[in-house]
A and B are shown apart, each in its own frame.
Chain A
Amino acid sequence: MPKYLLLKHYRGGPEPHHPFPPMDEWAPEDVEAHMAFQRHVTELLEENGEYVDVRGLTPARTWVRYGGPDAAPVTTDGPHPEISDLVAGWWMIDVDSRERAVELAAYVSSEVGPGGEPLYEWIDVREVMSAASSED
């Protein structure tokens, strides 16, 4: 069974379906509904036997590279830190097919947004490579 990451982003990706403010500016009940939906997705995946992992990332990003011999590592928050892609977190799922992964991603994207309306958030679906060959 293939594994997929359903990635959520803080920013980046295709043009949003509609603009929406940061969550701390939503009505409190919409915030609650949104968070309840996130928990529900995890529970659903667990019940289906499709759950592998769920993680969130903090938004702080540091790019690091080798500084060369006898030099400190070089760090930066990146070119265009305000607009570049920034992953917010993921569910890792173990499903029968790519179609199922897309179906689940679309469901995640229907999460509650401001005004109780679906958020239509873009979800980045990535297949996880397995370490060993599945065929002889």
Chain B
Amino acid sequence: MIDEPTRWLDEGALRVLVPRVLAGLVRRGEDFDAAEDALQEALLEALRVWPEHPPRDPPAWLTTVATRRLVDARRSEAASHRREEATHAEPQPSVTEEGDDTLFLLFCCCPPDLAPASQVALALRAVGGLATKEIADAFYVPEATMAQRISRAKRALAGPPARRLDQPGDLAVVLRVLYLVYTAGHTGSPARVDLAREAIRLARQLTLATEEPEARGLLALMLLNRARLPARFDSEGRIVTLERQDRGLWDTREIAEGVRVLQSALAARRPGRYQIEAAIAALHDDTASAEETDWPQILAWYDDLVALTDDPVRQDPASVLGRAVAVGHVLGSAAGLFETDRLREVLGDRHRWHAVRGHLHELDGDLPAAATAYAESAQRATNVAERDHLVRQAARARAAGSARRAQR
């Protein structure tokens, strides 16, 4: 082990260099797959060499070492594969901004025809600079499985993207991948690699490279959501729902940044899903107590959200379900329950649908119905913490319901 790591051996600092170096290699025409492997080797080499001989220009050092690896690899393959030598003669493009490199590489990693799981894995390794083992741990799969998934995904990419990356749809795929990384960070245990932080870091870099308000909307959503994380679980690891959270534990700095980023996004007057979801999160974050929640305003944003799709019940049922909660708070639980009825066919077998109905029944004071809905929800939960929470909710509602009956 290294006793006194130099500044560059800080893992985070080293990983920040990855997009820049890799983008440089790919832009000058190197094969994505080979360049990524070469860079990973260069990073290992850096960990070995830099403590004794810190480089003057770390990105240049990594580029040189990775290039040497690429040449070696090519030489050893030369007998069977004749490659174009022309690409080597091309001058390296001038230094680009960190954000541009991140955007470029994310586009490389997220072709729309690649499965989401592969896009996520590839983005974390090639752009996030995470080791395969770390990514495997984050997704509870053996390292060999993740290595195979990454190498298959890389083989599916042939060099830089063939077409120009200025279609709105391209960015939408990238944003969805970052959001997947973020949400994956919330289902694992806290000891794992902090995927949520990683997603925020990448989203922040992305906003340096694009003016698209949805990119800032996504960053704002992640920040505003993550700000509540310290209050989301108690010391025993039990879920604490929004209305019961200790709001003093919320990260006010992240909330302030999220609101600032959201405002700059909304100023562009091109609203989209992430901006709207961030606006809803901001309204919750901005409220001192659950009772003061501005439900009419939240409902107005949900109206905008479900208006984004032609057939929200089929195309965006999660938003319709979120809206049903707001309807319940604004117009009464019967109206909210009526909204959930429309989703029965689409979401009736999902735990969240039953949990929302439990919440609405409870709001209505119908505790036996709430208990039944929570128990139904617990049966369908796919996450231990959520399942345990729902069983508790069911038991609590049932006990409170019987106590009330006994009083009468």
Contact = CB atoms under 8 A, between A and B. Distances in A.
A24 B381 contact: no
B191 interface: no
Nearest to A30: B395
B388 A35 contact: yes
B399 A27 contact: yes
A25 to B, nearest CB: 6
A32 interface: yes
A30 B395 CA distance: 9
Which of A22, A23, A24, A25 has most chain B Cβ within 10 Å?
A: A24
| Size class of the B contact interface (CB-based, 8 Å) | 20 to 34
| Size class of the A contact interface (CB-based, 8 Å) | 10 to 19
B69 interface: no
Interface in A11-44: 22-28, 30-32, 35-36, 39
Interface in B220-239: 236-237
Interface stretch (A54-62, A73-81, A115-123): A54-62
A23 B395 contact: yes
A92 to B, nearest CB: 14
Given A22-B375, A39-B236, A39-B237, A56 B396 contact: no
Contact of A24 (B380, B382, B384, B394): B394
B293 interface: no
B399 A58 contact: no
B391 to A, nearest CB: 5
B371 A24 contact: yes
Interface string B367-408: 000010011001111101001100110111011000000000
Nearest to B381: A58
Contacts of A35: 388, 391-392
A28 B394 CA distance: 9
Contact of A28 (B379, B382, B387, B399): B399
B237 A24 contact: no
Given A24-B371, A39-B237, A58 B382 contact: yes
A22 B387 CA distance: 14
A30 B398 CA distance: 13
Contacts of B237: 39
A39 B381 CA distance: 19
Interface of A: 22-28, 30-32, 35-36, 39, 56, 58-60
4 A-B pairs with the lowest CB-CB distances in the bound complex, closest first: A24-B394, A24-B375, A31-B395, A28-B395
Given A23-B395, A30-B395, 6 more contacts: A28-B399, A31-B395, A32-B392, A35-B391, A36-B236, A39-B236
18 contacts: A22-B375, A23-B395, A24-B371, A24-B374, A24-B375, A24-B378, A24-B394, A24-B398, A25-B398, A27-B399, A28-B395, A32-B392, A35-B388, A35-B392, A56-B384, A58-B379, A58-B381, A58-B382
